[in-house]
Structure formats: C-alpha cells, structure tokens
Amino acid sequence: MSKKNKPNRPKARRPRGFEDKSADIIRAEQKLIASAFSVYDSHGFEPLQTPAFEYADVLGKFLPDEDRPNTGVFALRDDDEQWMSLRYDLTAPLARFVAENFDGLAKPYRRYQAGSVFRNEKPGPGRFREFVQCDADSVGAPGAAADAEMVMLAADVMRAVGLKDGQYQVRVNNRKLLDGILESTGVPNNEEGAIQRMQVLRAIDKLDRLGPDGVSALLGEGREDDSGDYTEGAKLNPDAIKAVLGFTTASSGDRGQIIIDLEKLVGMSERGQAGIQELRDIDNILSAVGISSDRAAFDTSIVRGLGYYTGPVFEVELLTDIKDKKGRPVRIGSIGGGGRYDDLVSRFRGQAVPATGFSFGVSRLLSALERLDALEAVTQPPVFITVFDRALLGEYFKMAEDIRGAGLRAEVYVGTGNITKQMKYADRRGVQLAIIMGEDEMSKGEVTVKDLYLGAEMAKAISSNEEWKSARPAQETIARDQLIAALKERIKI
C-alpha cells in the first residue's frame, strides 16, 4: 500500500494532566473512599451526587473577571449561550444544591460525596488536571460544635483508612484570629482590604516551603524566586509583618496553653476574641471525646489558601518520615483539610447560611498510605478455571458459580489457546489458584488445584527439568466435593 493511500489513524495518546487508572488503583481508591464514607455515615451524614458541570457563575471566586471563564477551569458555552464549567471542587456545587433546594432540606444539611474535580492548570509531577476529592459538610450549622465535629471526622477518617495514631495530626486555626491581628495593624476588614488580606493568607500558606524570610518578603514588597519570577507582596508595614509572623509561630503542644498565648496576641480585637472563644469551644468538645493534642492540635501557621473560609480552618498533616524507593525523603504535605465557610450559600440567597466541611484528595492520601506500607491487599485474584476440554464448558461455568456462591471470585477462561497459554495468562493476571479438570478427573469426581504462588517459590529451588517433573510442585488432586474447603484453606479465608 502506498503512503498516499495509507489510512489516517489517530495516535493513541492521553491529554496531559489526565491519567488512566489500573484495577489495583481503582480498587484501592474505592476501599479508601468506602472507609471514609463509613465514618461519615456513622455520624449521620447522607450521600449526595452533583453533576460534573455547573454554570460558570456558580463557581464564584474561582473565576477571573473575563468574558471567557477558562482560566483555572474548563469551560464551554451551552446551546443557550450560557457558560458551563467542569467543577473545580465539590463545595461550590453543594452550595448551589442547598440554595436550589433550601426550603425542602432539613437543616443542618449534612452530606458526604466523592467525585472527580478539574483544574485547568499546567500539569506536572503529581499535579493532575483531574483528581478525586472526598468531602463531608454541614450546611446551616452555626457555632463551634459543627467545626469540632469536622475535626473529629478528619481524625477518625485517618484511623479508618489505616493510619496509626502518631502518624498524623489534625492542625486547627481560626481565620478570625489573623483578621483581628491585621485589623489592629491597619488592614481594614472590608472589601477594600480583601486583596491585601488574601495576599497575606497566601504568603502564610507558603511558610513550610519558603520559611520565615521568604514569607516576610511576600508580606512586604514582594519576592523573586530562583527562576526569576517576581511575586508582588502584600505591602504590610514592618510592625504588621512582625505581628503576623509572631502569630504564625505562636504554637505549642498543649491546646489550652495556645489559647492563653493567643489571647495576649489578639488584644481587644472583637473579631480576634470571637476566634479565641471558638477555639476554646472546639477544645472542650475534642477533650470530652478523648481526642488529645497528639491527634488534633492548634497551629497558627495553618490558614488555608482559599479565600472563602471565614472561621476555624484545619489541615491533616503526616508526622511520619516518608522516603522514595531510593531512600530519599518525600514531602507529601497536607493530605486533607477544611474549615468554616459562611458566605458561599449566601451568594445565591442573600441571607447568611453558615457551613463547615472537610475534604481530602484521594490520590494524595493513597500515595501517602502506599509509601507508609499501610495499604492492605484490596482484592484476592479470581480462582482461575482452565478449559481443558471445551465439551465441558457447562461444567466449568457451574464450578465457577459454586465458587462464587461461597464468597470467592472465580473466572472461567473464555479465550483461545492450550493449557500452556492459559497458564501464561493466569500468571499475567496475578492468579494464585488454577483448577484443571478433564474428562478423566470429572468421571472420578476429582479436580486438580495448582497454587501458582507456591509453585513459583518452589521452582526457585529446583535445579533440573527431571526434578521438576517428579516434584510436581504445589499441585494437588482433590475430590470435587472438597474443592471449596480446599480453596478457602489455600487462600486462608
């Protein structure tokens, strides 16, 4: 065939920043989400599913002031000329759902959800344009009790997914404290000072990466990074910079002592004192249920970068050193977080609707668990039934049904090829147990079970083909009516 007549076939390729997921990853993610859902469900939360697309104006603060809202989000025009965007997170769609169904919902409305979210940003190592979040939120819940419950949920989820106490810590702060300090240093708590306050929050959020000097530069005139890029600073005066940095380091191990220290810092600021009281209420509830500072601490360096938080905020941090395959330290950072956001639903209704929530990125948490060897085997591979004689297909499928009825996975080979090819297929599938039954075995009421895992181990110690044939490693012929018991014994169920 000439090049001119060669068919034009598309190249098989993925868009950058999107990933294919194997069966092992999918099952691990599903198990992790199910563990979190069990915690949410035990607290009386209810599941919800919202669509992947929302009208662009629903996303609010995530959008730029441009005619085409495609910076940070993926957007397109509907046939009625309205802009729609793939959801940036699960919180803005929740706010829209509550506003749309406000009168019919029992409040507080307590929901949990997991699903893909999308960021139209430059992809990089570990930075995807699509990833899965898992959230729980209480909408219509004023007061620190709802915030304390979110901290409890976060700590309990970490236990449920396999982390041990001492491997994680929920670190809690309150935006109102920083608001009070900024207010006392001349930054107004209104729309006029909103941009400056957001610059301060983003600067503090980089404290663990840039250190005090780098954050000090971002709080002042600005900072040039190693690549030569310059970030405009918040333009705080030196006294304000000193006050903010002093606030971010006002943390110790004991929650009660931190409250005492913070009271001195916020002074007479009404908003700052309100934040102090909320932390005191949270501490009382956490202490009552036995959550010590080891599991949930107060940490004034936690501010959360998003602008919609209005009160208590928190992040879940790993305390365990994590290393890559070459033994080098790996920084995972925050594996979850949340806080109070009292303004999102009010965007739609024009009335105050308090809300608080917790969210974690499934892939990030899964990566941390994998590096800590905290993941258990999620799914046993299926028992593999070879097709020795195609005339016995009905018997093979009946055998598979019996095995499934006993609570085990089972697969009958439906491809083509002899036993050798079938065994190669079983190896690639990670199969442990394979069953062989021909006409002779069937007439005797027997089956042959091969343990491929054990066979591979035993094969390492066998030096000759003759020895292999005489040893017949990890292969056993048993009575058909004893098959289920034998399989369970091999799988150790």
Would 81 be classed as within a structural domain? yes
Pick the more confident residue, 274 or 251. 274
CB 305 within 8 A of CB 173: no
Q: Are residues 109 and 164 in the same domain?
A: yes
Would 8 be classed as within a structural domain? no
Whole-angstrom CA distances from 204 to 198, 248, 267, 408 are 10, 8, 21, 52
Work out the pLDDT band at 288, boundaries 50, 70, 90: very high
The upper half-sphere exposure of residue 23, i.e. CA atoms within 13 Å in the direction of its Cβ, equals 7
Would 470 be classed as within a structural domain? yes
- Highest mean pLDDT out of 301-315, 340-354, 450-464: 340-354
The model's pTM is 0.81
Task: Supply 60's token pair.
Answer: 């609010």
Least confident of 25-29, 103-107, 146-150, 410-414: 25-29
Opening angle at CA 39, ends 334 and 102, nearest 5? 90
Q: Are residues 319 and 463 in the same domain?
A: no
Domain end, chosen from 351, 371, 391, is at 371
Would 16 be classed as within a structural domain? no
Work out the pLDDT band at 208, boundaries 50, 70, 90: confident
In sequence order, the β-bridge partners of residue 112 are 47, 136
Q: Which of 442, 453, 438 is nearest to 490 (CA)?
A: 453
Would 152 be classed as within a structural domain? yes
Cα separation, 228 vs 164, in Å, equals 42
Q: Are residues 167 and 278 in the same domain?
A: yes
Domain containing residue 364: CATH number:
3.30.930.10
Cα separation, 142 vs 161, in Å, equals 29
Task: Supply 472's token pair.
Answer: 């017949």
Work out the pLDDT band at 422, boundaries 50, 70, 90: very high
Q: Which of 291, 290, 304 is nearest to 359 (CA)?
A: 304
Cα separation, 388 vs 399, in Å, equals 14
The answer to whether residue 293 scores a pLDDT higher than 60 is yes
Average confidence (pLDDT) over 45-57: 94
pLDDT for 278 equals 96
Q: Are residues 355 and 450 in the same domain?
A: no
Would 430 be classed as within a structural domain? yes
Cα separation, 475 vs 454, in Å, equals 9
Q: Are residues 367 and 475 in the same domain?
A: no
- Highest mean pLDDT out of 17-31, 184-198, 235-249: 17-31
- Highest mean pLDDT out of 3-12, 138-147, 318-327, 339-348: 138-147
Domain end, chosen from 371, 391, 424, is at 371
pLDDT for 65 equals 43
Q: Are residues 115 and 243 in the same domain?
A: yes
CB 303 within 8 A of CB 201: yes
The answer to whether residue 493 scores a pLDDT higher than 70 is no
Would 37 be classed as within a structural domain? yes
**Residue 69: alpha-carbon gap to chain centroid:** 27
pLDDT for 464 equals 56
Average confidence (pLDDT) over 71-80: 85
Q: Are residues 363 and 397 in the same domain?
A: no
Mean pLDDT of all residues belonging to the chain: 86
Number of domains forming the structure of the chain: 2
Cα separation, 400 vs 412, in Å, equals 7
In sequence order, the β-bridge partners of residue 166 are none
Residue count (the chain): 493
Q: Are residues 39 and 173 in the same domain?
A: yes
Cα separation, 475 vs 403, in Å, equals 19
Would 13 be classed as within a structural domain? no
Domain end, chosen from 309, 341, 371, is at 371
Whole-angstrom CA distances from 251 to 6, 257, 302, 303, 446 are 69, 9, 11, 13, 70
Q: Are residues 206 and 105 in the same domain?
A: yes
pLDDT for 60 equals 65
Residues 355-399: pLDDT tens digits? Answer: 999 999 998 898 888 877 777 666 789 999 999 999 999 999 999
Pick the more confident residue, 117 or 59. 117
pLDDT for 452 equals 92
Q: Are residues 93 and 141 in the same domain?
A: yes
Q: Are residues 170 and 273 in the same domain?
A: yes
Q: Are residues 135 and 206 in the same domain?
A: yes
Domain containing residue 420: CATH number:
3.40.50.800
Residue-number span of the structural domain to which 246 is assigned? 23-371
